[in-house]
Amino acid sequence: MDRLQFIMLAFPIFLLCSDLVNLYSRPPSPPRSPPHLAAVHHQHHHPPPVVPQVPDFPSIEGSPTIGNGYGTIVEFRFCVSCSYRGTANSLKQMLEESFPGINVVLSNYPPSLPKRLLSKAFPIVQAGFIGLIVAGEHLLPRLGILNPPSWYLSLRANKFRTIASSWLLGNFLQSTLQSSGAFEVFCNGDLVFSKLDQKRFPDALELKDLIGNRLPSSAFGKNLNWS
């Protein structure tokens, strides 16, 4: 095997190992401040600033501090691995501009449990398959397989193409297993739009009407139970 073939064979294996390390490694812990800096900070501790108390009585509609969306929570649960964050951010900005004071939360909508388990186990299977292709001539005799099947010999004859194809196909299947394809919109805990049911994204004007119909006419009227 010349140098070029060795590089072309080792590159997919290196990328696979880096994917496994990133998948199962723990995130780094936040750095701790040195003891002498913590002591200095403790000595120069200042009292917290005085925050002015806001009266419980809400202001009327049109107030610059509390808008007609005050007290309403809208949550976007979407598939993070599907690149839906841009759509969620644009709709969030639209709602915050249309209904001042509204609280818009973005969160991930994970896939089902079987898909999550398969996405965790698939890289192990992928690494085992590549290892079998690379070192199968030494592993199979130890397992008692002296005459490998014809399909294995065919795959081993095209070793580089087999490893590259398995790496690309494995990454595609793993990305598919990690995606849920969801974009669900909740208003105060109630589902108002579901991409899983309607197979499309919500339109900006449509979402504005859906959320607006669930808002009170004014914060003053809400406090007095006006309809």
Distance CA 171, CA 176 (A): 9
CB 187 within 8 A of CB 95: no
Choose between 198 and 131: higher pLDDT: 198
For residue 35, give both structure tokens.
């003891």
CA gap 98, 100 in Å, rounded: 6
Residue 37 corresponds to which tokens in the numbers above?
């800096």
Under CATH, domain 68-111+180-227 is a member of which superfamily? Glutaredoxin (3.40.30.10)
CB within 8 Å of 67: residues ≥ 6 apart: 99, 100, 101, 102
User: 103 or 156: whose pLDDT is higher?
Assistant: 103
pLDDT band at 218 (very low <50, low <70, confident <90, very high): very low
The pTM score is 0.55
Those residues with Cβ within 8 angstroms of residue 215's Cβ, 6 or more apart along the chain or in another chain: 68, 69, 72, 99
Question: Residue 226: is its pLDDT beyond 50?
Answer: no
**Whose CA is closest to 219, among 4, 80, 54, 29?**
54
What is the per-residue pLDDT across 166-184, written as a single tens digit (0 to 9) for each?
888 888 888 888 889 999 9
32-87 pLDDT, tens digit each: 555 554 444 445 445 555 555 544 444 444 444 456 678 899 999 999 888 899 99
Does the pLDDT value for residue 157 go beyond 60?
Answer: yes
126 or 78, higher pLDDT: 78
What one-character-per-residue DSSP string does 18-72 give? HHHHHHHSPPPPPPPPPHHHHHHHHHTPPPPPPPPPPPSSPPPTT-SSS-TTTT-
Q: Which helix (H) or strand (E) holds 169?
A: helix 159-178
Angle at 202 between CA 198 and CA 206, to 5 degrees: 115
Domains of the chain: which residue ranges? 68-111+180-227, 119-178
